[in-house]
Amino acid sequence: MNIFVINSGSSSIKYQLFKIPSEKPVCSGLLERIGLSESTITHKVFIDNEEKVIKKRLTLPTHEAGLLEVAALLTDKNTGVIKEPEDIEVVGHRVVHGGETFAATAVINDAVKEEIKRLFPLAPLHNPANYTGIEVAEKIFTKAVQVAVFDTAFHQAMPEKAFRYAIPQSFYKDLRIRAYGFHGTSHKYVSQRAAEYLHNPKARIITIHLGNGCSMAAVDGGKSIDTSMGFGPLSGLVMGTRSGDIDPSVIFHLVDEVGYELDKVKALLNKQSGMQGLTGFSDMRDISKAIAEGDREAEMAYEMYAYRIKKYIGAYTAVLNGLDAIVFTAGVGENDENVRKRACANLDFLGIKLDDERNKVPSSGLKEISTENSPVKILVIPTNEELEIAQQCYELLSK
């Protein structure tokens, strides 16, 4: 089954084409700066296990113009992987927010599209862009079944005691204010891989997604029972530019006593805080370099970042009533050995014992970095949200 996966952003489109059940993409790509000057396309084709990279600089005024260029690349007579756009059988769309309506992947129809639009206020930076991707794909891949895979769906298994906030009930019943959680596609993918590795479908697993955005999930027998992000993607861990957990009194103080407008507070906590606010850098590679050069503020920020992860490990181990594995994933989780080392330090009493040498060895696939006698397995598993989306589409349509 030819499944084309699209992740549509406000000025970008990431994509991969899979011939499921094969897990290897036949092509992938990224369109950037859509609607801006000098847009770019980076298109990668995998032919006979060899990667061919095609790069273009051009003007792409709209998402439709961008996806038409992609369709041309997919059907190119020399490097194309399909004969015509009609060969695409399914288009799988990443949709960030599914609210309480979508606890699973859904075939897109008019009702689904209206619900995605209704949820725009809950994810104003993402859902409108995801919706645009759907409308454009419907025009270009006319014979394909369009399918939505929601970031929030995996966390819909959380019990009410975990997702409710201690505010008047009307705010939940009338306004649906509750914790939804995000990065669900990633948490689902790596927790499944971990359970397969452990040969234990009932495994109790903490998944730790560390990119520019960061979140953790407590997964019990394949179901998310708690997660660190909430109503929006601001709460929980220290992130690249987001503050993570902060006392709401700080917001009141900034507004009432310092004179901040709410828009300024919003920008502060979402775009100017986290590691960016603490160090001047949002990229962990830059922060690691600053630490090596003796920057004390960078060192403290690194400690805060790892400390917050450790606090959630303790909390989620309690929620799960024990632990079988911890999984690190995403850009920082997969590549920063020092973050993993600091986050797991001094947790022996929980059965978490990291092997320093294993932790240092680079790997492009799943690797175990716990000691031989560690009761809890510590794993690094590269996330693959596009593959997870393709597989969920396949499972839905193969029933």
Residues annotated within a binding site for ATP: 14, 209-213, 283-285, 331-335
Amino acid at 377: K
Label each residue of 276-323 as H, E or C. HHHHCCCCHHHHHHHHHCCCHHHHHHHHHHHHHHHHHHHHHHHHHCCC
From the annotation, which residues make up the binding site for Mg(2+)?
A: 7, 385
Contacts of residue 63, Cβ cutoff 8 Å, sequence gap at least 6: 8, 13, 34, 132, 133, 136
From the annotation, which residues make up the binding site for substrate?
A: 94
Catalytic residue, chosen from 48, 76, 87, 151, is: 151
Q: H or E segment at 137?
A: helix 127-140
Backbone angles phi, psi at 350, to 5 degrees: -95, 0
324 is a catalytic site residue: no
Distance from the first to the final alpha carbon of the chain: 14
Q: Hey, which bits of 20-165 come out as E strands? A: 25-32, 39-47, 50-58, 90-95, 106-107, 145-150
How many angstroms separate the CA atoms of 37 and 11, rounded?
A: 11
From the annotation, which residues make up the binding site?
A: 7, 14, 94, 209-213, 283-285, 331-335, 385
Residues catalogued as catalytic: 151
